[in-house]
Amino acid sequence: MQKLSRKFRFSIGLFLALWPVVVAAFVPTQVFASLDVSMLSADRLPLAVFCVTALVSEVFAMIVFFRTRVFPIDPLTSWSVIAAAAAGTCTVAFLVAAVANVLHVW
């Protein structure tokens, strides 16, 4: 991980942080229905799996963002601190969603 440039690591972290949020917010329900996944049915196992996968992705994003920080402060460091805070917030949100869905499944 040290051999990759800071900007590339930051880009990887940005991707890891954003893909679950984009999928959860912008994928239409017809796509989930075509995969036989209903958000309103009692079968929430695929949704629980998605939330756990998103949680793991957000944790990795937060780790990557913290690793891209160096001192003295430069613009990339400032953005990585902001992104790490946002990824941490998304991690908490996905943890709550994952726990709620797992409890609903079992």
Provide the number of structural domains found in the chain: 1
What's the predicted TM-score (pTM) here? 0.65
Q: What is the pLDDT of residues 5-14, one digit of tens each?
A: 878 888 888 8
Residue 100, in any domain of the structure: yes
Q: What is the pLDDT of residues 70-96, one digit of tens each?
A: 666 677 777 888 888 888 888 888 788
Residue 1, in any domain of the structure: no
Residue 49, in any domain of the structure: yes
What is the mean predicted confidence (pLDDT) over 17-46?
Answer: 70
Residue with more model confidence, 4 or 89: 89
Residue 32, in any domain of the structure: yes
Which residues span the domain enclosing 38?
6-105
Residue 36, in any domain of the structure: yes
> Is it the case that residue 44 has pLDDT exceeding 70?
no
Please report the pLDDT score of residue 55 as a whole number.
82
- Please, where are the H alpha helices in 27-74? 29-34, 45-67
DSSP 62-101: HHHHHHT--SS--HHHHHHHHHHHHHHHHHHHHHHHHHHH
Give the C-alpha separation, 85 to 78, whole Å: 11
Comparing C-alpha atoms, which of 64, 87, 63, 60 is closest to residue 5?
A: 64
Residue 17, in any domain of the structure: yes
Residue 41's pLDDT band (boundaries 50, 70, 90)?
low
